[in-house]
Amino acid sequence: MASVSLQNTINTTPSPTSNPLTITDLLNDAIVLINPTVKPPFSSIRKLFDHLRSNPNDASALNNAYPKRGIFKSAAIKNGLSDQKFTIDLSPTRDSLIPESIRSTLAPHGMEDILAFFNNTVDTHVSSILSSLSKIAGADFSPSHSKLNMNFRLCDYNPMTADPTSTNGCGEHTDYGTFSIIFQDGTPGLEVEAPYAPGTWVQIPGDATVVLAGWCALILSGGRVCAVRHRVRRIPGVRRLSAVLFVAPDLEVKLKPLREVGDVVFSKEIMEGGIDVEWFKDVMGKRWRWREGNLELAKGEDERVVQDEEIKKLIFGC
């Protein structure tokens, strides 16, 4: 993505001196930093996580509103190998399934503020980001995003997990959808891989709000938009909160380039439009739920396969 405003405070691993590229070179085309008009209500986010952890009945009632996957995920309490974080996964659909009685129980614990924040962010930012992506792609993204397929995620990188010493907050991955907006509470930890220097991780300042693109944007744009790998490193003993808005194409959209392909070679399946967003989300979802500790793989499924490698095979055919 274009026009990245990067400060000198961004550090890379390995250190910038060992790399001939400047920081701007490293992340240009990868992310955009925005100055959001609406700030996340981090005190409400903290309150809601604390409430759900100390009131298991309310947590179960919330999860029963969406029994397919649950809403409050706390596998990291028991699993020291998964991502060491708790999450609350909301969406407009999930929101509409939460019974009034649970909503009013959770309202004083931050829920209403949080939903209002996400709805406000959608109204303020989504269509302008879709227009920017359309410009970069040279193709209109709005028809494939007419229903606004979105998810709202809250993350709590809490020191009180099964492995308090682990630095793994969120393993490296690329989001499946079109773009994600990541809001942070001021605590660093988010790192982005430089697209033209694989293996070089750039630390994003903790107060930055970042827009990064996912696999669907790369495919729809014919390779003109980068899908950006990122991860979160935990600082042991330090709590970090984030709020993420994920935007993806409508579920029935065929995932193929909207115009002729740029410098990228896509698999036959992609070029023929054999994969739709719903199927792709399902395949991706299985891997990320495993990484997050919320899914056991079936016997014979290879736990060592890295999510991004599997997905690259599907998209690029090798």
Asked if 170 is part of the footprint of ligand AKG (rule: CB under 6 A), the reply reads yes
Considering CB distances under 5 to 8 angstroms, the limit depending on partner class, which of ligand AKG, Fe ion, none binds residue 226?
none
CA of residue 228 relative to chain centroid, distance: 10
Task: Say whether residue 228 binds ligand AKG (CB under 6 A).
Answer: no
Minimum CB separation of residue 54 from Fe ion in Å reads 27
Concatenated DSSP letters of 261-304: --S----HHHHTT--BHHHHHHHHHHHHHHHTTS-PPPTT--TT
CB closer to Fe ion, 29 vs 193 = 193
Q: How many residues bind ligand AKG (CB under 6 A)?
A: 11
The SS3 of residue 7 is coil
Query: Which residue's CB comes closest to ligand AKG?
Result: 242
Q: Is the Cα torsion angle 220, 288, 317, 30 positive or negative in sign?
A: positive
Query: Which of residues 1, 45, 71, 182 is near ligand AKG by CB under 6 A?
Result: 182
Q: Which does 190 bind (CB under 5 to 8 A by kind): Fe ion, ligand AKG, none?
A: ligand AKG
* Count of residues near Fe ion by CB under 5 A: 1
User: If binding is defined by CB under 6 A, does position 234 make contact with ligand AKG?
Assistant: no
245 binds ligand AKG (CB under 6 A): no
Q: Residue 142 — left, alpha, or beta (φ > 0 → left; ψ -120 to 50 → alpha)?
A: alpha
Residue 175 binds to ligand AKG (criterion: CB under 6 A): yes
Q: Which stretch binds ligand AKG (CB under 6 A): 63-71, 73-81, 115-123, 182-190?
A: 182-190
Report helix, strand or coil for 151: strand
Candidate residues 73, 94, 125, 153; the one interacting with ligand AKG per rule CB under 6 A: 153
Cα separation, 88 vs 40, whole angstroms = 14
Residue among 182 and 218 whose Cβ is closer to ligand AKG: 182
Q: Report the distance separating Cα 269 and Cα 80, nearest Å.
A: 37
CB of 56 vs ligand AKG, minimal distance in Å = 24
d(CA 139, CA 192): 26
Number of CB atoms found within 10 A of residue 95's CB:
17
Provide the H-helix boundaries in 98-138: 100-106, 111-121, 127-137
Q: Does 211 participate in binding ligand AKG (rule CB under 6 A)?
A: no
Residue whose CB is less far from Fe ion, 83 or 175: 175
Distance CA 48, CA 55 (A): 10
232 binds, among Fe ion, ligand AKG, none (CB under 5 to 8 A by kind): ligand AKG
Of residues 144 through 203, those in contact with Fe ion by CB under 5 A are: 175
Query: What does the DSSP assignment read for 12-44?
Result: EES-GGG-SS-HHHHHTTTEEEE--SS---HHH
Residue nearest Fe ion (C-beta atom): 175
Minimum distance, C-beta of residue 244 to Fe ion, in the bound complex (Å)? 7
- Determine the Cα–Cα distance for residues 270 and 286; give it in Å rounded to an integer: 20
User: Strand, coil or helix: what is 311?
Assistant: helix
CB-based contact 34:125 (threshold 8 Å): yes
Which residues contact Fe ion (rule: CB under 5 A)? 175
Which residues contact ligand AKG (rule: CB under 6 A)? 153, 155, 170, 175, 182, 184, 190, 230, 232, 242, 244
